Structure formats: C-alpha cells, structure tokens
Amino acid sequence: MRVVTGLYRGRRLKGPRGLELRPTGDRLKETLFDILAPVVADSVFIDAFAGTGAIGIEALSRGARQVVFIESAAQGLSLIRQNLQTCGITTAFRVLDRDVFQALRFLGREGFRSDLIYFDPPYHWTAYRDLLENVTAASLLSSRGRIVVEHHRRAAVPEAGRGYGLRRRVRQGDQCLSFYGAPEAEPAGFCGP
C-alpha cells in the first residue's frame, strides 16, 4: 500500500494484520482521486472508517487543506498515527476515536463543514442510508460538498434520500464507488455521466 501521487508520492504505508480492516486497493484509490482531482486541492476532507488512513493521507498528499480521520478500532487508530508519522505529516489533520455516528454528530455540533466525505464501512455494513442521512441532518457538507461511499457491488446502497442523490457510480471488480451530492445541486465536473 502506497501514496499514489502528490507531496507524499511513493511513501509506503503500513497495512493491517488479519481481517479486521480492509484497506482500499491502490487501483481503486487511484480511480477515486482521478475523479476527485478537480476538487480535492484546498478541500476539507473527512475519511470515515479510516482504517489505515490511506485515503485521508492521499487527500493531504494531493493538497487537501484539512482531513478528519474517523476510526474506532484500536488497530486502525494505531495505523493512522504510524502512517501519518511515516509521511512526516504533523498538521492539517484530526483523528477522532469514535463511532462514526457519534463523530458525525460531534462534528455537526461544532458547526464543522466538509467539502468531501469518504465512507469505507465494512463490506457487511447495511446502514448506508443512516450514514447519508446523518451527514445531511448534521449539515456537514459545504454548499458544493460531495459524499463518496465505497461498497461491495451487491450492497443495498440508496439512490437518493432526504438531502442527497446519487450522481455517479463506478465499479471495479466487486468494489464500487458511489458519489452523492445534494439533489438540487448541479452535478460537479467530476460527477458527469
């Protein structure tokens, strides 16, 4: 596992032992950031279910202004901190050691706003609608903010709901990336057909 491009390009990141965490593969990560390229620089980015922190670190490498890592597993928290240290990253991030729903509510109470929110829950996860609705209920997205959900191709992810709508879905093998935005918002350049 490595940082694909940007300031920390080529840095090797530590991965998990065992099956508790499943990091996003380099190929899917590259696809994600190719799509997000027009908007990731100077963005405020949330990496939820952060695991190793690879997605958030990639965002920082590509010029994100700030990244919030949300992780509750002890192994993941340790890996995030080790990988930040490996890359020499000492600023522009926060690590929240909380359940994802607690973290989203906490950030909402702070008045925090994000441009990009990335969810990579476990593949057995079923509460996708709850995740998306918690983001909109907490008003966490900036006016042109987007949510990306990584999921198994057979997962029952919603097309739309209160405050969000699917803009694009990309599939690689059994993995998918679903891109969401506000239903009334004009699709951003990276979310075209």
- Per-residue pLDDT tens over the stretch 90-101: 999 999 999 999
183 falls in which pLDDT band (50, 70, 90)?
confident
Strand order of the β-sheet with 164-172 is 93-97, 66-71, 44-48, 114-119, 141-152, 175-181, 164-172, 160-161
Q: What residue ranges do the domains of the chain occupy? A: 29-191
User: How far is it, in rounded angstroms, from Cα 24 to Cα 178?
Assistant: 14
Correct CATH for 29-191 of 3.20.20.70, 2.60.120.560, 3.40.50.150, 1.20.140.10:
3.40.50.150
Average pLDDT of the segment spanning 76-92? 96
Residues 6+ apart with CB under 8 A from 178: 148, 149, 151, 157, 166, 168, 169
**Sign of the four-CA dihedral 10, 3, 23, 155:** negative
What is the value of pTM for the model shown?
Answer: 0.91
